[in-house]
Structure 1
Amino acid sequence: MSLTQLVHSGVVQVPLQFGGDLIGLAVLFLVLALVAAVLGASGVAGMSMAIAKWLVIIFVVLAIVTFIL
């Protein structure tokens, strides 16, 4: 189910989880880091790479916790 609401028998069902945002943000920051590195902005590239790395780590930890529980 996507971000849209599903109406069934007059009851509005709203999803409890919205998946895909964390890994999407990590890819976005990775692309930003690569573009900044090509353009010579090493500070922005380093910070974007660090943010992408932490988002991937958080994603992996949450995925492992989800599969265990």
Structure 2
Amino acid sequence: MKVNSLLTAKILKFDEGALKFLKDIEGHMESNGICFKLEFSLDPNPYFKNSVLTKTYRKCGDDEDFLEPIG
């Protein structure tokens, strides 16, 4: 994640400890064709109870590249 310039700007110093436990990132479009879901899979760690963290985004308007977070 840190080699991508867009992502590097979003990673704060206090995030780095939790990122050491990141196993995988998966993304997929929901069956409705409007929502995109990102799932972050983690090894057991002191930062999160859940082993999978999920963030859902919704497509906005006709621009396929623009997503807004839901919730």
Q: Tell me which protein shows more helix as a share of its residues.
A: 1
Q: Tell me which protein shows more strand as a share of its residues.
A: 2
TM-score (norm 1): 0.23
Q: Which has the larger radius of gyration?
A: 1
TM-score (norm 2): 0.22
